Amino acid sequence: MTIVLDPTAGSNADIATPGPDAGPLAGKRVAIRIDMLWRSWDWVSQIWAEELRAEGAEVEFWRSCGRTGEEGRVAAEEYAAVLARADMAIVGLGNCGSCTSWTIADALQAAATGIPTIAVATAHFEALAKNLARRGGRSGLRLHILPYPLDILPRSEVDDIARNQYRSFLRNFGVRSGLAQLSAA
């Protein structure tokens, strides 16, 4: 008798829902996770932070740098503390393989705390981001997709993208505010 053994392994558990909506912004503390790779994400998140503050939210940035060794241990503690203080989390940027991996890992960690969470990636890495979220057990993770390529664009163009995308970003995040409710022009 021949027995065929399966060389693969799979995961079963999945949360297909996006989690709680971000809701109203006024009085909320928003954690924005940035990184040391993408200047474009710094620029986009700065503009979004200004807009969030204008709607009454408080914004705290946290920059992801080394994630292994002693530096990684410290980073893990810092990030957990940032999430503990936050009412909602914006996590980016998935704009390469490894950084998308860390973006989704950090977004999954934020979502697991129960706070409204959205991961941000560029279009080329959307499929990877979705794959990793599904394989991480949360296929419903909210994603906002920015155009690709992004990081090689001049700042003025990236700033325009940030402003143009802000309303759709709010809607993806489940924000309820005057600006988010406006239909696209």
Partner 1 sequence: MQDFLVRGGRFPDELIAHLPPLKTECTVEKIAINAVMAGAPPESMPLLIAAIEAMADPKFDLAGLNATTGSVVPAVIVNGPVRNKLGIPYQAGCLGGVAGSAAGIGRALRLIMRNVAGQLIDSTSQSVYGTPGRVAGIVFGEWEERSPWAPLAERRGVKGDAVTVYGAMGTANICDVVADSAEGFLEIIAKSMAYPGANGFLTSSAFSETLCAINPVWAEVIARQFPDMRDVQAFLWDKCALPIDWWRPEYRKPIEALGRIKADGRVHLVPTSDDVLVMVAGGLGGLHAAMLHSWGTCLTVTRAISE
Q: Could you say which DSSP state residue 151 is in?
A: T
Nearest approach, Cβ of 68 to partner 1 (angstroms)? 5
Instruction: Assess contact for 141 and 117: CB atoms under 8 A.
Output: yes
Nearest approach, Cβ of 120 to partner 1 (angstroms)? 16
Nearest approach, Cβ of 12 to partner 1 (angstroms)? 10
- Cβ closer to partner 1: 65 or 81? 65
- Cβ closer to partner 1: 38 or 173? 38
Output phi, psi for 147, to 5 deg.
-65, 160
Binding site for partner 1 (CB under 8 A): 5-11, 35-37, 65-69, 71-72, 96-102, 105, 125, 127-128, 131-132, 135-137
Q: Coil, strand or helix: which one is 120?
A: strand
Output phi, psi for 94, to 5 deg.
-85, 100
| DSSP bridge pairs for 164 | none
- Cβ closer to partner 1: 63 or 176? 63
- Tokens 């992004």 identify what position? 150
- Cβ closer to partner 1: 62 or 102? 102
Nearest approach, Cβ of 67 to partner 1 (angstroms)? 6
Instruction: Assess contact for 140 and 19: CB atoms under 8 A.
Output: yes
